[in-house]
A and B are shown apart, each in its own frame.
Chain A
């Protein structure tokens, strides 16, 4: 216990921190958040390494705009197309939310590929991050699955026929193909239940899987750490600098690198 009166600043700080401390004592979550925010990352990381969080942002945009669209969209073959027209033409900012969702999908997929390429070129899939790479490829597959199932939802000519071809492509898989195709269609041919099925897969099943996989993916990133760029002169993992100190040269986002002989 303090034996002197606290200064005004300290008093203010105590008041502000009171709810945070209350939460921390009862849940321990604040400590977790602090760990996430203030953990150390290598000093030489690069703009390319922002692609991962950019992909996450694109996915969050999709989740939010998708949830809002779900309030107006009707997954029945007779009302799907009119509901899309209604969203695009009548609902206030409906065109914006629908446009963001539609183009957010393309941006999400582009960013996933760019992020994957960056990880590949940085060699950041090597030990001990192999599991993270596998999770990432699964996320890629899920993302493409979202694009496929979502394409049917407007129920216009493009949507319907592209989905017919897509289902038949799945149907050509050996052994299980016909069963997969019938599972996707919900029957022997596209019927009124097909749209609801695609909607359920698009809205609930794949996003649920994506949220879970993203959680695991982020957990591994935090646990295993982020790699330094492979060209960095003072990459983490190569040991301490020879003279123990760092000189100011232009390299990396946060921390200038040293010039070292050889390497």
Chain B
């Protein structure tokens, strides 16, 4: 006993088959011609990308310097490194950024497994919860809105994953002279020492400074921290116990660096009045 809906669908499908038989055109050469053109475009794009990848690298195009499309290969794998920040291939950037959004330990599993699996299951089950036979776009508002939302969110997450910054101590140390020049404390030895310390003490894992650093949601940008004129004593007290000075702050204590270094850091922060 088939329901009316399935009977109607079968009728429409029969009609479809008859219409195609009557008014259709043979696949070859009509449709296959367009398939072939498109395939040619695809192959040319792939070859073009391969050529650009190789020949936009500097020098004689061998080695680890990046070109327009990135490096040909990185340094050999070093499982004991302490100086590397992994990144997946670009099509995983949205998962990569999802991991930064779910920053509470209890929610980690949502970002790693929960949401991607949910999305995949919903995707797989689309024909089973969209039971209308309607195909005209103008009469499928839910489908269109869902499609736009999905595409937008995937695009935004991928973009944010692509532009997300990380803080690698060795790379940041090389930037210190530029920081000093930009903010005008090159002559201040203590401030420069503090800047070097800032680069390796893990501050940039969460904070951004002069365009570099980790962008952890919630950690303020410190490029113009000195302009707030909070004073060296405040900075030292804050570094020793951030939650005491700033209740609810998730920032850990940096007492372990020792008083002398904390003073350098504080001097550096107070000297950072913003880019000149």
Contact = CB atoms under 8 A, between A and B. Distances in A.
Interface of A: 36-43, 45, 47, 49-51, 53-54, 57-58, 61, 77, 81, 84-85, 88-89, 95-96, 98-100, 102-107, 109-111, 117, 120-130, 133-134, 137, 141, 144, 147-148, 151, 154-162, 164-166, 169, 172-174, 177, 190, 225-227, 230-231, 234, 236-241, 246, 253-255
Contacts, number: 242
Contact of B43 (A45, A51, A53, A61): A61
A165 B86 contact: yes
A54 B25 CA distance: 21
B51 A96 contact: yes
A157 B84 contact: yes
11 contacts: A50-B34, A50-B35, A81-B76, A100-B46, A103-B46, A121-B147, A126-B130, A144-B92, A172-B108, A231-B136, A237-B19
A226 B140 CA distance: 20
A67 to B, nearest CB: 16
A37 B32 contact: yes
Contacts of A162: 86-89
Enumerate the 9 nearest inter-chain pairs by beta-carbon distance, A residue then B residue, closest first. Answer: A99-B50, A40-B24, A123-B135, A161-B86, A160-B77, A237-B16, A130-B127, A103-B49, A156-B74
Q: Which of B19, B25, B88, B147 has the most CB of A within 10 A?
A: B19
Given A103-B49, A120-B147, A121-B143, A240 B22 contact: yes
A121 B137 contact: yes
B79 interface: yes
A221 to B, nearest CB: 11
B229 interface: no
A109 to B, nearest CB: 5
A88 B84 contact: no
B27 A50 contact: no
B17 A41 contact: no
Interface string B68-89: 0100111111110100111111
Interface string B23-65: 1111110111011011101110111011101100000011000
Nearest to B15: A237
Contacts of A81: 73, 76-77
Given A155-B76, A156-B77, A53 B38 contact: yes
Given A190-B79, A237-B16, A161 B26 contact: no
Contacts of A241: 23
Interface stretch (B118-126, B180-188, B268-276): B118-126
Contacts of A231: 136-137
A137 B133 CA distance: 21
B4 interface: no
Contacts of B49: 99, 103, 106-107
A106 B126 contact: no
A238 to B, nearest CB: 7
B19 A134 contact: no
B234 interface: no
B178 interface: no
Nearest to A81: B76
Contact of A238 (B9, B15, B113): B15
B135 A117 contact: no
Contact of B77 (A77, A129, A226): A77
A96 B99 CA distance: 34
Contacts of A161: 77, 84-86
B13 to A, nearest CB: 6
Q: Which of A37, A81, A127, A230 has the most CB of B within 10 A?
A: A127
B159 interface: no
Given A38-B26, A190-B79, A237-B19, A85 B112 contact: no
B20 interface: yes
A106 B91 contact: yes
A173 B30 CA distance: 48
Q: Which of A99, A104, A124 has the most CB of B within 10 A?
A: A99
B50 A95 contact: yes
B21 interface: yes
Contacts of B132: 126
Q: Which of B42, B43, B109, B133 has the most CB of A within 10 A?
A: B42
Q: Which of B23, B41, B133, B144 has the most CB of A within 10 A?
A: B23
Contacts of A237: 12-13, 15-16, 19
A204 to B, nearest CB: 21
Nearest to B6: A127
Contacts of A47: 34, 38
A157 B27 contact: no
Nearest to A51: B38
B134 interface: yes
Nearest to A137: B124
A107 B46 contact: yes
A157 B75 contact: yes
A182 B21 CA distance: 54
